Amino acid sequence: MLEMGKAREPNFLVLFFFGLILGFGISSEGSQIRHYKWEVEYMFWAPDCNENIVMGINGQFPGPTIRANAGDTVVVELTNKLHTEGVVIHWHGILQRGTPWADGTASISQCAINPGETFFYNFTVDNPGTFFYHGHLGMQRSAGLYGSLIVDPPQGKKEPFHYDGEINLLLSDWWHQSIHKQEVGLSSKPIRWIGEPQTILLNGRGQFDCSIAAKYDSNLEPCKLKGSEPCAPYIFHVSPKKTYRIRIASTTALAALNFAIGNHQLLVVEADGNYVQPFYTSDIDIYSGESYSVLITTDQNPSENYWVSVGTRARHPNTPPGLTLLNYLPNSVSKLPTSPPPETPAWDDFDRSKNFTYRITAAMGSPKPPVKFNRRIFLLNTQNVINGYVKWAINDVSLALPPTPYLGAMKYNLLHAFDQNPPPEVFPEDYDIDTPPTNEKTRIGNGVYQFKIGEVVDVILQNANMMKENLSETHPWHLHGHDFWVLGYGDGKFSAEEESSLNLKNPPLRNTVVIFPYGWTAIRFVADNPGVWAFHCHIEPHLHMGMGVVFAEGVDKVGRIPTKALACGVTAKSLINNPKNP
């Protein structure tokens, strides 16, 4: 029988039948099928030592780690055990070539899976890298529906850098208020903003009301932890004189984080599943939706342990840093470092943040962008008030997803499923990004930006002042179904003069990119992946308030979409198979 949550060796007879049932063949030579059987449910858990409910998978929080080799097929047989909510899971950073229906975006790639139903996610993992997965319906990611997805190079191939050991770190932020209360607050008049998170979680573990670093600060309450509690820190155990790869991914709902290890330099080698030109840094900023790999060398005094500190930046902080220890074996973990945890750089030192972000370039030999674009769209993000509700809008359209998923609606030409007028590709040239928006034309919408297959698309993301005077926030934008080249960033409004400053030489390939306050970010991608793809701010409440757009390309080239992605239940299946006589 299948073992819950674990990858198993392929059994060819079973695979053959799976192939028949699911319409996929036995993997080509060397690659494997990684089969997981998951149940999603709410469960009592104390991620930060305070009991609450979290969305767990197979009784675990965070969910089980998926580990595969590039070229493998991942099959996740997902059963929704929630009592009254649908669910979907998005495989963040996986391109879903040929399987756009497996992207796990409710209302875009599939119907939400109803309670009691099982959906088969079946996709290939193309590229090695550090990825993760998470819920993509309402604010279920904030409820704890996430886990790691690590792709190793194809079997027999090596990473382009050496390391002796690996540590995997999934970062998240945690609120004590339920997501239901948060969602209602965001859609109330007046808005009840969710505020800053109570706790930063490292691999689902944090400490509220106490600190493991209380010994340096008499205002802090020391934690009394045995080590076996769900909120006890996840310790990084290392041996001296070795090199470790630390994989760091952020699935935060809101927080922009900064990661540092006392006394240790970080060599950045990977970002969002792409190799970067290695560079040393004392700390990294990591925004929601991003991932990095850093190498560290354990060359410090071997009789000490060192702090791992994850603090918040970019927003006025109200959350203590998440902490754990880099434990040099065989030292006891109870031996605390001689000095306090590294201090997180000032939250509003945006020059420092830009300095870090601008240093990221593609590793030598990485694919280069096409030198010319076919189409360039400008996306201005503004915070707005629509009928008294606070929303976010892109070019004056605040995204409200339709009940019918776009992918099926577009494939079958169901024109009434969503607004057939494409949203605006530009914003008024004289728009003043330094003052609060006027809101005259802002509306709710669900139109789609449609690209020709193979089109080279530039997107210029333009930030602006929000409703409050003198305030513009940082937003990490995530694109589904593609990696894009980050051609450049700048302050103020993008103008034609910036063209020559764009980097076509070694721009990093990523799936998430940040847009700084009052600034712009330019990206380029090739619309060569038939499907319908979300492009949105990865801050969960911001997407919930409309901060996203929908891209589509070559939907006529999409193969058979599984019935369950188009509609639900047995009635849907029989109506689809035999519409006249179900």
Ligand X SMILES: O=C1O[C@H]([C@@H](O)CO)C(O)=C1O
Decide the pairing of beta strands 243-250 and 291-297: antiparallel
* Contact set for ligand X, span 86-125 (CB under 6 A): none
Interface of this chain with ligand X, residues 537 to 556, rule: CB under 6 A: 542, 545
| Shortest distance in whole angstroms from residue 463 CB to ligand X | 12
State which residue, 478 or 482, has the beta carbon closest to ligand X: 478
Measured in whole angstroms, the distance separating CA 391 from the mean position of its chain's CA atoms is 21
Question: Of 396 and 473, which has the nearer Cβ to ligand X?
Answer: 473
Residue 444 found at the interface with ligand X (CB under 6 A): no
Classified as helix, coil or strand, 22 is helix
Contact status, residue 151 vs residue 166, Cβ threshold 8 Å: no
Which segments of 321-388 does DSSP mark as H helices, in order?
350-358
> How far is Cα 333 from Cα 325, in angstroms, rounded to an integer?
8
Give, as ranges, the residues between 499 and 538 that touch ligand X (CB under 6 A): none
- Compare residues 192 and 573 and give the one whose CB is closer to ligand X: 192
**Cβ atoms within 10 A of the Cβ of 153, count?**
15
Let me know: does 97 contact 51? Beta carbons within 8 Å.
no
The binder of ligand X chosen from 12, 193, 358, 412 (CB under 6 A): 193
Per CB under 6 A, does 473 bind ligand X?
yes
CB of 478 to ligand X, least distance (A): 17
Closest distance of CB 570 from ligand X, Å: 41
- Residue 294 Cα distances to 169, 238, 328, 477, angstroms: 11, 15, 18, 22
N- to C-terminal Cα distance for the chain? 34
Taking the C-alpha atoms of residue 368 and residue 153, their distance in angstroms, rounded to an integer, is 21
Strand pairing category for 291-297 and 266-271: antiparallel
Minimum CB–partner distance for residue 188 and ligand X (Å): 11
The whole-angstrom separation of Cα 227 and Cα 202 is 14
Position closest to ligand X via CB: 193
Shortest spacing between CB 467 and ligand X, in angstroms: 6
> At 173, which helix (H) or strand (E)?
strand 165-174
Distance CA 29, CA 568 (A): 35
Residues between 363 and 422 that touch ligand X (CB under 6 A): 383, 390
Q: Least Å distance between CB 191 and ligand X?
A: 5
In this structure, the dihedral spanned by the alpha carbons of residues 401, 403, 408 and 412, taken in order and rounded to 10 degrees, is -110
CB of 488 to ligand X, least distance (A): 25
Task: Give 85 or 285: the residue with its C-beta nearer to ligand X.
Answer: 285
Tell me which residue has tokens 């699911």. Answer: 22
Q: How far is CA 331 from CA 176, 326, 504, in A?
A: 35, 10, 48
Fill in the amino acid letter for 514. Answer: V
Q: Least distance from C-beta 390 to ligand X, angstroms?
A: 6
Q: Are strands 165-174 and 199-202 parallel, antiparallel or unpaired?
A: antiparallel
Handedness of CA 424, 427, 428, 434 (dihedral sign): positive
Q: In this structure, what DSSP letter does residue 339 have?
A: S
Least separation in angstroms between residue 540's CB and ligand X is: 11
Q: Which is nearer to ligand X, 247 or 475 (CB)?
A: 475
Shortest distance in whole angstroms from residue 166 CB to ligand X: 35
Q: How far apart are CA 255 and CA 538, in angstroms?
A: 10
Footprint of ligand X on residues 328-347 (CB under 6 A)?
A: none
Instruction: Say which amino acid occupies 409.
Output: A
Q: Please, which residue, 48 or 473, has the CB nearer to ligand X?
A: 473
Integer Cα distance of 319 and 67 in angstroms: 32
DSSP 8-state symbol, 101: G
Q: How far is the CB of 542 from ligand X (least distance, A)?
A: 6
Q: Which residues of 296-309 are buried (b: 16+ CB within 10 A; e: fewer)?
A: bbbebeeebbbbbb
How near is the Cβ of 288 to ligand X at its closest, in Å?
Answer: 12
Nearer to ligand X, 250 or 383 (CB): 383
430 CB contacts (<8 Å, ≥6 apart)?
none
Q: Which is nearer to ligand X, 540 or 553 (CB)?
A: 540
Which residue, 169 or 539, is less far from ligand X as judged by CB?
Answer: 539
Q: Spell out, one character per residue from 39 to 78, where the chain touches ligand X: x when CB under 6 A holds, - when not.
A: ----------------------------------------
Nearest residue to 65 (alpha-carbon basis) of 158, 133, 141? 133
Residue 69 sits at the vertex; the CA angle it makes with 63 and 73, to the nearest 5 degrees, is 75
Interface mask toward ligand X for 274-303; x: CB under 6 A = ------------------------------
Residue number, 96 or 383, with CB nearest to ligand X = 383
Question: Would you say 17 or 193 has its CB closer to ligand X?
Answer: 193
Of residues 277, 260, 259, the one with CA closest to residue 268? 277
- Work out how close the CB of 186 gets to ligand X at its nearest, in angstroms, rounded to a whole number: 8
Of the pair 411, 542, the CB lying nearest ligand X is at 542
- Of 124 and 472, the one with the shorter C-beta distance to ligand X is 472
Number of residues binding to ligand X, judged by CB under 6 A: 8
Q: Nearer to ligand X by C-beta: 173 or 283?
A: 173
Say whether residue 191 binds ligand X (CB under 6 A). yes
Query: Cβ of residue 87: shortest distance to ligand X, in angstroms?
Result: 25
Binding residues for ligand X (CB under 6 A): 191, 193, 383, 390, 466, 473, 542, 545
